[in-house]
Structure 1
Amino acid sequence: MRITFLGTGTSQGIPVIGCSCEVCLSADLRDKRLRVSVLIETDKTIVIDSGPDFRYQMLRAGVKDLDAILYTHEHKDHVAGLDDIRPFNYLLKKRIAIYATERVQEALQREFSYIFADTKYHGLPQIDMHTVNSQSFIVGETVVTPIEVMHYKLPVIGYRIRDFTYITDAKTVSGNSLSKIKGTKYLVINALQKEDHISHFTLKEAIAFSEKVGAEMTYFTHMSHNLGLHANIENELPPHIRLAYDGLTISI
């Protein structure tokens, strides 16, 4: 299984429009962060979340095939790029499987009403919708286990595939959800900034959660410019915890 980080930034990305902080002005390419998303290549090609940078992320990573999109939640930085699946429909002559909770499906139907309208027109995104609940499901031959975490008061779905677990926009994780994560060798978790935040793990909280899980390697994602320079923050971390960056690939 091959994992590619398509985007590791928060909802505004880095650099932030109009910002002149040292992170936004950094020449280090690891400090250039698109909105958060990850590509998983197993027997099928899977993307978790299609944010507003989805089109560019597909081009930059050279993605030629796509079988499924798994959605974590309905915020715009995670769903806004759904329309850009159309070239896959056209070139590959296939529909794209969409996996989302009923609440997220309702949000997609509001945001992209033309996809679901009774009157169809040529070139619409072609999708097959699948409902995510608490049960594991299969994409091709790949077993996917949903894991509910809380983004303040909003339930967000993380996903575990084999020894890899991906969680974004988490602030609290229940004991039941933690039990689904335990045993993971590769953990991806959000670490927004050092300062307290109502709906995201801080750096300190993300480190503590990583230690609780006990993964062999943890990668932080969904990072804002307030976290600090990539090079500086990595120097503060133990060897088994790293900051992810756009374009990073890992093989499992």
Structure 2
Amino acid sequence: MKIATYNVNGINARLPVLLRWLKATRPEVVCLQELKAPNDKFPEEAIRDAGYNAVWHGQKQWNGVAILARDLEINETRRGLDGDPEDSQSRYLEALVGDIIIGCIYLPNGNPAPGPKLDYKLKWFERLQSHASKLLQLDTPVILVGDYNVMPTELDVYKPERWLDDALFRPEVREAFHSLVAQGWTDALRFLHPDEKIYTFWDYFRNAYKRDAGLRIDHFLLSPGLKDNLLDAGVDREVRGWEKTSDHAPVWVQLGD
């Protein structure tokens, strides 16, 4: 099974790119982030015509997550995280797809930092950690996948010295990610490529993509039962070079039976 994640940076604006990529790669499961569309503006018909069922959790102008599946049933199990009843941002969607629980994540950016947005990010991380620990107690395999807005190590960022005060790279944010992984999750890309420079995001500014001035902020965390099923993982980085594309590239893992 091939499972992918893709921050589309506006699903309706990037729909031709998304459909082109889906046709070319045909992953069984896709998690999307940053839909930037309310629920009634999700392009369900176009996604269905591409061969995918979908569940989505939209929001006008900002955020939004979705899970797509080809030839597999999707049963939504959760939208949003416990711990903050006032939080209305559409950042977490969870579903049972086949026999795997998929948690689709769009973690807060947190900038400018320090400040309220960083505080919100760290609290959101705490809520995710709390829920993730409960997921690990299930007999069902789990994948927590999406845009975490975190570069875990210096290997994951071009010129790390320039990012020391950024909310994507501050020590407390990286520590939150490492604490999450330490519950027993496997960072799939880094597990298979421990010493390789891998980026999943290139800014639109300063010719970042052509200079390969990127960041690795899109991650797959696998529950312990899936670690031995991990066959391959990678980034479809060429999609970042397509016309009118997102500033992220699709990321994927291949799992054996």
TM-score by length of 1: 0.42
